[in-house]
Structure 1
């Protein structure tokens, strides 16, 4: 069993960064919920959240939640501000384990692959409370700049938010050695159609061809006919 704590930055009376009609606290919660739904498809994953709604939680409380749970991994999701652009990730700038550095390397790389066409600001270290006070490997991600118009336009796209989450999940899968559940079934009730036509379902749009092919392979293993179309 792998115990993962997902931390959506800010919340409640602390909106985080605000610009271009967006609030950081809303974006981080949406991304974390997407990550949680995707991770539910993996075996042996026990998920916990520091928050699942719009509430304020002190930084020390977030770390304490993970410590009390004796979590195996802690990941905190944020949106950047300050006039830059792109993606960056952080681990604690004090003593960190080799495993923490290895996890950052893998997760950072997979997020960059998933979001594509975004500036890579690098793998960094900082004295952030949620990284300093957690007793397990921990990483903090800064997913684009809310005060950059181009970045904000991406963050307003539900598809792009899913790509951010997908990158986190694939990174966690590779870093922690997670495996997909064998028998995942998706059931949907629909009215009987008047003809025997086909239902077409779009499951993703990626700037990275490798990520598109990877998702296609996963769908094919579940018995779906999948075609990749370049737009």
Structure 2
């Protein structure tokens, strides 16, 4: 199977280019993650990131990793600065195979066709340079500079989640098309014997183990599962309809020094959930809780929870969305803002938008306010057929993927927001009920204090 290394430029103590409060390393990582997610979800390919978090890595560490696991293609993702605007790509300025030139041409031209024209971005051309990551890698290597973070027009695009999703999707598809990656096969029906060669609570450890397996000639990928509300990253090396084939792979792994086990899944594909009648508690309407009550409930579970309730109430009011229940949904999606799943705190993605499982992290937003607004707009897409208000820019990158007005109640989100999610809406409302009960207890306590005060004042 083809192995791609994606290298998010800079990281950790090296912010890369900086402008105002923005750091290049964060844009690089967000785009790299989305490109990876696009590739592994749609194509038969193994993908390894040189870093999957804000981590300091030397240039040598990046190329050493890529060479050690014998990657087929190295893609380094950067953003530019120091005056200028636009998109450009680089390959090594020394001797390179014709294939490297063809890869650059194909990927660059696809980006130019589908992204640069659409967003009126300057094409700075296909270039060559003596960059370490291009010179020291032993495979075809390409470095891209998406935009200039110190150019206001470019920065407006980089802080637009829809653009980030768009450019990442096209870059992933362009890479797959250029490398002639096959589409993922349809899942095998019936009993499935999956060979798991490791399960980790930390994605980075799973990535390291994945690289070792690939280096030893085993095809593998990372899948995500949630057990007792905790996310685990499984390194899967195969899936078979015949148990004997799975056992044979386990034996090969054992001989190579890798522990593994067989995970058996179902004897028939699950039936789709029945359609949910559009009845129940409406998504649109007035909330009843105050920001103070909402934040207090979140902190009763997670003392480190951020103060986001005011943002939820202010944004939801503009769209006639019940902001206090939307906040309850955010608590559910983020595990009370502890972010124990695929989505991480720095993404400001409080609704799991675009996080479709299998390690897909979903959308990234430049700040908390934009993340909350995207959440409210996504609910608005489901609850209403009306156009977005003219005073707000569309920041939900998946707004146009929703069938407008297809879920006007929280219960009707079952099987839509979360799949299969046959009780998703009920879980949200159950959590909201606890929020209301908590607020009621606090009010009753205050009421009793006031009554006692009045009684003590009686003469």
Q: Which residue of 2 aligns with 1:125?
A: 128
**Pair 1:190–1:69, CA change in 2 (3 A):** farther
Residue 6 of structure 2 contacts residue 74 of structure 2 at CA under 8 Å; is this kept in 1?
A: yes
The Cα of 1:65 is off from its aligned counterpart by 0.6
| Equivalences for residues 40-51 of structure 1 within 5 A | 40-51=40-51
171-180 or 72-81, which moves further after superposition? Answer: 171-180
Q: Which residue of 2 aligns with 1:13?
A: 13
**Pair 1:192–1:6, CA change in 2 (3 A):** same
Residue 114 of structure 1 contacts residue 166 of structure 1 at CA under 8 Å; is this kept in 2?
A: no
- CA radius of gyration, larger in: 2
Measure, in 2, the Cα distance between the counterparts of 1:92 and 1:140. 9
* Secondary structure of 1:202's aligned partner: helix
Q: Which residue of 2 aligns with 1:229?
A: none
Q: Which residue of 1 aligns with 2:137?
A: 134
After superposition, give the CA deviation of every residue in 1:104-161 in whole Å (9 maximum; x if it has no partner).
0011111222323110000000000000000000000001100000000000001101
The Cα of 1:192 is off from its aligned counterpart by 3.3
The Cα of 1:77 is off from its aligned counterpart by 0.1
Which of 276, 301, 307 in structure 2 is aligned with 1:192? 276
Measure, in 1, the Cα distance between the counterparts of 2:77 and 2:140. 15
Task: Output the aligned Cα RMSD.
Answer: 2.3
160-169 or 117-126, which moves further after superposition? Answer: 160-169
Residue 90 of structure 1 contacts residue 140 of structure 1 at CA under 8 Å; is this kept in 2?
A: yes
Measure, in 1, the Cα distance between the counterparts of 2:145 and 2:273. 38
Measure, in 1, the Cα distance between the counterparts of 2:35 and 2:277. 34
Residue 177 in structure 1 maps to residue 261 in structure 2: no
More relative contact order, 1 or 2 (CA 8 Å, 6+ apart): 1
**Pair 1:139–1:14, CA change in 2 (3 A):** same
Measure, in 2, the Cα distance between the counterparts of 1:82 and 1:56. 23
Query: Which has the larger helix fraction?
Result: 2
Q: Which residue of 2 aligns with 1:83?
A: 83
Residue 111 of structure 1 contacts residue 166 of structure 1 at CA under 8 Å; is this kept in 2?
A: no
* Secondary structure of 1:91's aligned partner: strand
Residue 158 of structure 2 contacts residue 164 of structure 2 at CA under 8 Å; is this kept in 1?
A: yes
**Pair 1:190–1:38, CA change in 2 (3 A):** farther
TM-score under structure 2 length normalisation = 0.41
Residue 20 of structure 1 contacts residue 149 of structure 1 at CA under 8 Å; is this kept in 2?
A: no
Q: Which residue of 1 aligns with 2:413?
A: none
Residue 42 of structure 1 contacts residue 178 of structure 1 at CA under 8 Å; is this kept in 2?
A: no
Which runs of no fewer than 5 residues in structure 1 stay unpaired? 205-231
Measure, in 1, the Cα distance between the counterparts of 2:137 and 2:113. 28
The Cα of 1:170 is off from its aligned counterpart by 1.9
Residue 202 in structure 1 maps to residue 400 in structure 2: yes
* Secondary structure of 2:400's aligned partner: coil
Q: How many residues align?
A: 199
Residue 145 in structure 1 maps to residue 229 in structure 2: no
Measure, in 2, the Cα distance between the counterparts of 1:40 and 1:164. 16
Measure, in 1, the Cα distance between the counterparts of 2:83 and 2:154. 10
Q: Which residue of 2 aligns with 1:108?
A: 108
Residue 52 in structure 1 maps to residue 55 in structure 2: no
Which runs of no fewer than 5 residues in structure 2 stay unpaired? 188-271, 280-380, 386-398, 403-459
